[in-house]
Amino acid sequence: MKKNKISKNWIIKQHRDPFFKQSKIQGYRSRSAFKLIEMNKKFKFLKKETYLLDLGCSPGGWSQVATKIISKGEILSVDIKSMDNIHNVNFLKGDLLDNEICEKISNYFEKKFDVVISDIAANTTGNRNLDSFRTGELCLVALNLAKKVLNKDGVFLSKVFMGSVFNEINKKARECFKNVIKYKPQSSKKESKELYIYCKGFSKV
């Protein structure tokens, strides 16, 4: 009974959410599309010729946004979950903890990526500290992969939660990027610890 009540409350909140409503009106698969739209408007990292790697892409909201901008580059979207086809998006299903999948990503195109974006979040447990820690660990996995596949001066953008792992992520990012900025989009829920780390100017360490 309690679970049904929580589910009902979640549905009510979703339908009151203006970004959820707009995602349905504009045909985006997730409200998170508006986070990427806002961050790209601010930082201008997606361009026509961009070679983009979208990690944790399912259901595909960020990939949809990218296809509206990238026309002469390439998009590779990766997730452990399945994703319905999106025109001009290459999809690879697999686990980033699998070395074979990482190798496939590294060799997917003849050139390296200009931008790596990650909206990966661990499955929630209800324990905020634990959820923050697990999502932080996934961010570190994405960052380590980005260091292998990015072009010089490339960009890395990732979801992260304020918590015990954040300082480690920030430190490691600053070791190989010229600029590291914390940013919370307007479409990110106010009560959430979620924010994004924008890293620009990649250089091998």
DSSP 8-60: HHHHHHHHH-HHHHHHHHHT-SSTTHHHHHHHHHHH----TT-EEEEET-TT-
> pLDDT tens for residues 19-28?
666 766 676 8
Q: Catalytic pick from 159, 171, 184, 200?
A: 159
Average pLDDT, the chain: 88
> pLDDT tens for residues 40-86?
999 999 999 999 999 999 999 999 999 999 999 999 999 999 999 99
Q: Does domain 29-202 have CATH number 3.40.50.150?
A: yes
Ranges of each domain in the chain: 29-202
Q: What is the pTM of this model?
A: 0.88
Catalytic, 13? Answer no
Q: Mention every residue, 6+ apart, whose C-beta is less than 8 A from residue 11.
A: none
Average pLDDT rounded to a whole number, residues 137-145: 95
